[in-house]
Every structure is written in C-alpha cells, then in structure tokens.
C-alpha cells in the first residue's frame, strides 16, 4: 500500500524521507564503530536537516510514476569493485587522497556558487516584491 508522506515522520519512513527531503542540499556519509570495535554503522548527516513535523507535504514528493518491478531494476546501481585500503601502496593511497581532496574542493566551490546564486535570486525576488507592493499602493 502507498504511504501518505503528508502525515509526517514514522519509524518506517524516517531514513527514506530524510534522503528525499527537498530542502536538504548537502549530505555527508561516514562510518562509526562501536566502542568495543565489534560493530560498524553507516551514518549520514544532512544540511539543512529534514524530517520536520508539519513540513512533509512540502518536502517529500509523491512518486512521479507508479513503480514496477522493471523500473526498480533500472534504479539498481552499477556493480562497484573496490580494494580494501590495506592492499593499496602508499603511492596509490596518496593519489586517492589527492583525488578526494580535489573532489571536496570542487564540491565546496560548487556549494559556494550555489549559495551565491540563491542569495542573488532572493535579492531579485525581494526587489520585485517591493516593486509590486509599491504598485499596489499607488
């Protein structure tokens, strides 16, 4: 059955609704290990945070089309092959760190550019609204 996301947060939908939360623009993932070292957890931090009561109808959209088994197959990510870090040479590790640093720098640059565009758009909207208010008073 279909879940009504407009009703808001439930335990069953919390991870999914945060993942698709429209207002969240940045996400970071990491791994946490239990204090005794026997368990690892994947953790995610979202900015701005989602799952805000009374905001679900604005931030969690309905499916754009009905999902079928074949459409779910299309969504499956490609196979990823990776090697444990311990099998990489120090040269390979340095190269990987260099690539990751470049990626972080590019993402930060893109974030700043997006923030700048958003501020510019906001100023334009405020200017237009001010103009409209003056028109309506006249």
Q: Please list, residue by residue across 73-102, b when 16 or more beta carbons sit within 10 angstroms of its beta carbon and e when fewer do.
A: eeeeeeeeeeeeeeeeeeeeeeeeeeeeee
Under the banding of pLDDT at 50, 70 and 90, the label for residue 6 is: low
Q: What pLDDT was estimated at residue 1? A: 45
pTM strictly above 0.75: no
For 100, the 3-state DSSP assignment is helix
Q: Evaluate if residue 43 carries a pLDDT over 80.
A: yes
Q: Evaluate if residue 9 carries a pLDDT over 80.
A: no
Cα–Cα distance for residue pair 40/14, rounded to 1 Å: 20
Tell me the torsion sign for CA atoms 82, 86, 91, 97.
Answer: positive
Q: What pLDDT was estimated at residue 42? A: 85
Q: What pLDDT was estimated at residue 86? A: 66
């Amino acid at each position: 059955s279909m879940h009504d996301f407009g009703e808001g947060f439930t335990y069953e939908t919390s991870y999914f609704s945060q993942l698709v939360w429209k207002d969240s623009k940045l996400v970071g993932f990491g791994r946490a290990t239990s204090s005794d070292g026997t368990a690892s957890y994947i953790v995610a931090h979202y900015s701005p945070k989602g799952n805000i009561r009374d905001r679900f109808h604005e931030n969690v959209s309905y499916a754009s089309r009905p999902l079928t088994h074949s459409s779910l197959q299309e969504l499956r990510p490609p196979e990823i092959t990776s090697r444990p870090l311990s099998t990489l040479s120090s040269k390979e590790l340095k190269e990987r760190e260099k690539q990751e640093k470049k990626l972080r720098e590019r993402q930060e640059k893109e974030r700043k550019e997006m923030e700048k565009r958003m501020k510019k758009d906001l100023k334009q909207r405020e200017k237009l609204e001010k103009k409209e208010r003056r028109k309506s008073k006249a």
